[in-house]
Structure 1
Amino acid sequence: MKLGTVKRDRIRLVSAASLFVATTLVVAACTADHDGGGAAASSVAAATSNSAIHPPFPTLTAPSLQPPKQQNENRPDVAFDPCTWIDDHTVQKIGYDPSTRKRSIDIHAEYTFLSCEFLTADKAYSIEILSGNRTMDEGRQKFTTDGAQIEDATIEGRAAMIVRTKTPESCDVLLQTKAGYVDFDRIIAGYLIDGPTPERCSGIVDLVRSIVPRIGNY
């Protein structure tokens, strides 16, 4: 056999092998697409979801609303920030005025609480939302020590506690998160309400339920 013939045969073999590999990749890609992404897409999604704790939706960017740097000791970082993760539409949906949004006093020492306050347009209702990395048991102990009445509940599949403190116009709901819990602390200014003042925890579970989608899987 001539040398030129051998070279041509080798080229044909290499080309055929390359074509086989390319065809295999195309078929695999089409199969993954047909299956809604398949294992390859799942790996990409997992890598993306594990690369950051940011939600899959835009957050508010005003400098005055940004959370402080966390300094946790043996506790997970708090992901959900009520001042930048809760959009204006949700604030309006629960009956509050988005223009009253204000970052309240954050705690960022050995544990963290990121806080935000909202008011209704008539100022009769105020709510402070605190997202932290203390455990539900620690929250229960704190309120029990303070003499509060605690009612266990489940809200959107999450463990929760409805808390009636010694302050007559105040109602808290503690909602479990991956980092710890979110404390929804609502106060009713009865003197600003025409007619009878509602029971202090009236409607607060529905309020919390409306905010759960903005917490996401955190």
Structure 2
Amino acid sequence: MKPNRRALMVASVVVTVVAVAGCSSGSQENPDPATPAGSAVTSPATANRPTLTAPHLQPPSQDNKYTKSSSRSKVVVDPCTWVPDSAIQEAGFDPGSRRRGSDVVAEYSFFTCNFKQGEDAVLALESGNVALDEVRKKYPADSEELIINGRPAVKSKKDDSSGCSIDLQTNAGYFGITVRTHTSGRVKGMQSCDNILEIATILEPSIGKEN
């Protein structure tokens, strides 16, 4: 998700640390769509929270030597198992296209999930332990302050490849929503910022008021 934005945020982290610690066991493709289940996945990231339980969607463990030496909070909200199919569909994307992205678990940790809208657009979700204030400082000239369902948020527009993003404040850091339009979408007149405020409003409740 947001590789350009994340790269700037974690530029101070040694590349080899990220390579070793970026355990993304869920990045593999699985042809079976995720289906909601009544049981809960009790990992540190999703404790006591009903989730999508398909094995290939589960987040990696946040227990390694790098996180143990970090003062940053663990990521709580996992976008690939917390956001229900109904919300993704309401946002205009295909819940059957749900795939984990390249999770990173180190001093800076990011859980990611990607969805498609045909061949026109991608919805990339990211939950990280980087504070919203840190996001603001990275994009001082290219951000807009928002309140989404009562939650502080920052909107930023990049070039077409990086897309349009809204980052919402969480207790652990932020929950990022990015829309990128492909060439086919732009031919139809779509822009990456189209409807992103509505998308953020639809997805925000999945974070949970307690987070």
Q: Which residue matches 2:131?
A: 135
> Percent of aligned positions with the same letter in both sequences?
35
Determine the C-alpha separation between the residues in 1 that align with 2:146 and 2:82.
Answer: 24
2:89 is paired with a residue whose SS is: helix
Is 1:95 equivalent to 2:92 in the alignment? yes
TM-score, normalised with respect to structure 1: 0.68
Is 1:174 equivalent to 2:164 in the alignment? no
State the Cα deviation string for residues 110-150 of structure 1 (Å, max 9, x = none): 12110000001x22110110001111121122334xxx611
Counterparts in 2 of 1:169 and 1:106: CA distance versus 1, 3 Å: closer
Alignment equivalent of 1:210, drawn from 202, 206, 209: 202
Aligned amino acid, residue 132 of structure 1:
G
Q: Is the 8 A contact 1:143 1:165 kept in 2?
A: no
Q: Is the 8 A contact 1:78 1:179 kept in 2?
A: yes
Higher percent of residues as helix? 1
Determine the C-alpha separation between the residues in 1 that align with 2:178 and 2:188.
Answer: 23
Q: Which residue matches 1:42?
A: none
Number of paired residues? 162
Q: Which residue matches 1:67?
A: 59
Residue pairs, 1:106-117, within 5 angstroms: 106-117=103-114
Aligned amino acid, residue 86 of structure 1:
V
Alignment equivalent of 1:124, drawn from 117, 120, 123: 120
Determine the C-alpha separation between the residues in 2 that align with 1:196 and 1:133.
Answer: 35
The Cα shift of 1:203 comes to 0.9
Aligned amino acid, residue 145 of structure 2:
D
The ranges of structure 1 where at least 4 consecutive aligned residues each deviate by more than 3 angstroms after the TM superposition are 52-57, 166-169, 192-195
Determine the C-alpha separation between the residues in 2 that align with 1:129 and 1:69.
Answer: 19
* Larger gyration radius, structure 1 or structure 2: 1
Q: Higher relative CO (CA 8 A, sep ≥ 6), structure 1 or 2? A: 2
Q: Is the 8 A contact 1:190 1:197 kept in 2?
A: no
The Cα shift of 1:168 comes to 6.2
Determine the C-alpha separation between the residues in 1 that align with 2:194 and 2:164.
Answer: 9
Q: Is the 8 A contact 2:45 2:59 kept in 1?
A: no
Q: Is the 8 A contact 1:169 1:189 kept in 2?
A: no
User: Runs of 5+ in structure 1 lacking a partner?
Assistant: 1-51
Q: Is the 8 A contact 1:169 1:188 kept in 2?
A: no
Q: Which moved more, 1:63-72 or 1:106-115?
A: 63-72
1:162 is paired with a residue whose SS is: strand
The Cα shift of 1:189 comes to 1.4
Q: Which residue matches 1:83?
A: 80
Determine the C-alpha separation between the residues in 2 that align with 1:191 and 1:87.
Answer: 27
1:172 is paired with a residue whose SS is: strand
